[in-house]
């Protein structure tokens, strides 16, 4: 039985084309700057995002950390969302490893931070206060239903930050999903930010890797930060080769995943006992209503026995994420599995 694994788009295995490219990759020592495949991936990524330069890192977590360590020094403060991945799911790396303090602001349901809140959080010059250095945004916003930030919002937030001498970093782990959801080009979404991280290993299907993009000067400094967190890799072209295929073959197909996510959301909404949040990209967040006769744990067990996996979330909710290895038949199977397991008569 095929397992329909909707827990995350990180469960994606590399495609045959990626495995072939990895096998054939030309490599060198990337810490010496001599891996031609890494160098090519970094040039391609910078070009795709409309930035001067890019840096290949192991993961999204490392990419965000490296960006924050590059923007900020010890005692500096970062303004970010209280539901952001960087605050919730990256072990407080900025504080633990960089001496950087987070200043969390309420994420609105669409993943934004209110501009008034940002303005109110920027510190003046006072010996008692940390220095406000950076605003971090996230798009698509994972916990906020996978909602993309519009180019207009990002430009406004960046204008505000820059007017006060702060920089802006975008956690764009799924920036290609954001571009597809808004039907705009990626460079339009990241033009106003000083740095952006995006992941190859999520919806783009590569086995490993993320890129931090920014000015050439910023990336030169980020290269030092990557080295100090142990992220200097050697013959990393083996991994970068899959990333090149990801950019060439995967980046422009997100609309297919989004269409399936819409169908999944619609299908689940028709299952008695299930209520579904608005579907904004490739993520479907949903929960059980009072009429459901099962606990979330029982639902997960029942689904597992039918070969369907979704991710349990806080408050008894669930998340399902569509990706390259999920086809139309898998969506139908998932809806049917829920109908059977939740067990409320229609």
For ligand PLP, the binding residue among 12, 15, 59, 145 (CB under 6 A) is 59
Span near ligand PLP by CB under 6 A; candidates 44-52, 53-61, 110-118, 272-280: 53-61
In angstroms, the CA 33 to CA 157 distance is: 35
CA distance 167 to 178: 21
Residue 42 as a binder of ligand PLP (CB under 6 A): the answer is no
> Which CB sits closer to ligand PLP, 206 or 337?
206
DSSP of 189-247: HHTT-SEEEEESSSTT--SS-EEEEE-HHHHHHHHHHHHHTT---SSTHHHHHHHHHII
Among residues 30, 138, 192, 330, the one that binds ligand PLP under rule CB under 6 A: 138
Q: Which pairing describes strands 210-214 and 195-199: parallel, antiparallel, or unpaired?
A: antiparallel
Rule CB under 6 A: say whether 55 interacts with ligand PLP: no
| CA angle 133–163–107, rounded 5-degree value | 60
| Separation between Cα atoms, residue 69 and residue 115, nearest integer Å | 24
Q: 117 exposed, middle or buried (CB, 10 Å; 0-12, 13-18, 19+)?
A: middle
SS3 category, 48: helix
Q: Which of 85, 260, 323, 339 binds ligand PLP (CB under 6 A)?
A: 85
Q: Does residue number 173 form part of the binding site for ligand PLP (CB under 6 A)?
A: yes
Nearest residue to the partner ligand PLP, using Cβ: 60
Contact 298, 273 (CB under 8 A): no
Q: Binding to ligand PLP by residue 178, rule CB under 6 A?
A: no
Give min distance, CB of 142 to ligand PLP, in A: 4
Question: Shortest approach of ligand PLP to residue 60 CB, angstroms?
Answer: 2
The two tokens of residue 173 are 């782990």
Q: How far is the CB of 17 from ligand PLP (least distance, A)?
A: 21
Extract the tokens encoding 330.
């898998």
Number of CB atoms found within 10 A of residue 221's CB = 16
- Which CB, 170 or 274, lies closer to ligand PLP? 170
Please confirm whether the linkage preceding 140 is cis (ω < 30° from 0). Answer: yes
User: What is the closest distance, in whole angstroms, from the C-beta atom of residue 141 to ligand PLP in the complex?
Assistant: 7
Q: Does 60 contact ligand PLP by CB under 6 A? A: yes
- In whole angstroms, how close is the CB of 145 to ligand PLP at the nearest point? 12
Which of 30, 171, 192, 194 binds ligand PLP (CB under 6 A)? It is: 171
| Cβ-based nearer residue to ligand PLP, 294 or 313 | 313
Please, what is the Cα angle at 208 between 177 and 192, to 5 degrees? 40
Closer residue to ligand PLP, CB minimum distance, 134 or 288: 134
Question: Which of 118, 116, 115, 187 has the alpha carbon at shortest distance from 151?
Answer: 187
Residues 206-265 that bind ligand PLP (CB under 6 A): 210
Q: Which is nearer to ligand PLP, 28 or 207 (CB)?
A: 207
**Closer to ligand PLP by Cβ: residue 247 or 341:** 247
CA 206 – CA 57 distance, rounded (Å) = 13
Q: Is 61 in the site for ligand PLP (CB under 6 A)?
A: yes
How many residues bind ligand PLP (CB under 6 A)? The answer is 12
Does 303 sit near ligand PLP (CB under 6 A)? Answer: no
Residues that bind ligand PLP (CB under 6 A): 10, 59-61, 85, 138, 142, 171, 173, 199, 201, 210
């Amino acid at each position: 039985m095929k397992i329909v694994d909707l827990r995350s788009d990180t469960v994606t295995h590399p495609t045959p084309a990626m495995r072939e490219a990895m096998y054939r990759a030309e490599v060198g020592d990337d810490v010496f700057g001599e891996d031609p495949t890494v160098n090519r991936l970094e040039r391609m990524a910078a070009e795709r995002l409309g930035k001067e330069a890019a840096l290949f890192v192991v993961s999204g977590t490392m990419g965000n950390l490296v960006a924050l360590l590059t923007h900020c020094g010890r005692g500096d403060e970062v303004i970010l969302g209280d539901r952001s991945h960087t605050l919730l799911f990256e072990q407080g790396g900025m504080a633990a490893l960089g001496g950087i303090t987070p200043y969390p602001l309420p994420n609105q349901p669409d993943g934004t931070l209110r501009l008034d809140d940002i303005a109110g959080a920027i510190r003046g010059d006072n010996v008692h206060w940390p220095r406000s250095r950076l605003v971090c945004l996230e798009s698509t916003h994972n916990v906020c239903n996978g909602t993309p930030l519009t180019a207009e919002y990002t430009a406004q937030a960046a204008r505000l930050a820059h007017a006060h001498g702060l920089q802006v970093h975008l956690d764009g782990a799924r920036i290609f999903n954001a571009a597809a959801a808004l039907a705009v080009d990626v460079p339009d979404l990241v033009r106003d930010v000083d740095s952006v991280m995006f992941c190859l290993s999520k919806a783009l299907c590569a086995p490993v890797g993320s890129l931090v993009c920014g000015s050439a000067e910023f990336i030169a400094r980020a290269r030092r930060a990557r080295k100090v967190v142990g992220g200097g890799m050697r013959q990393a072209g083996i991994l970068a080769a899959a990333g090149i295929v990801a950019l060439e073959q995967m980046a422009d197909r997100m609309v297919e995943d989004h269409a399936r996510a819409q169908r999944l959301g619609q299908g689940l909404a028709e299952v008695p006992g299930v209520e579904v949040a608005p579907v904004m990209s490739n993520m479907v967040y949903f929960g059980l209503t009072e009429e459901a006769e099962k606990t979330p744990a029982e639902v997960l067990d029942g689904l597992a026995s039918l070969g369907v996996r979704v991710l349990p979330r806080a408050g008894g909710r669930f998340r399902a994420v569509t990706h390259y290895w999920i086809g139309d038949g898998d969506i139908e199977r998932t809806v049917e599995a829920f109908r059977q397991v939740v067990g409320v008569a229609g």
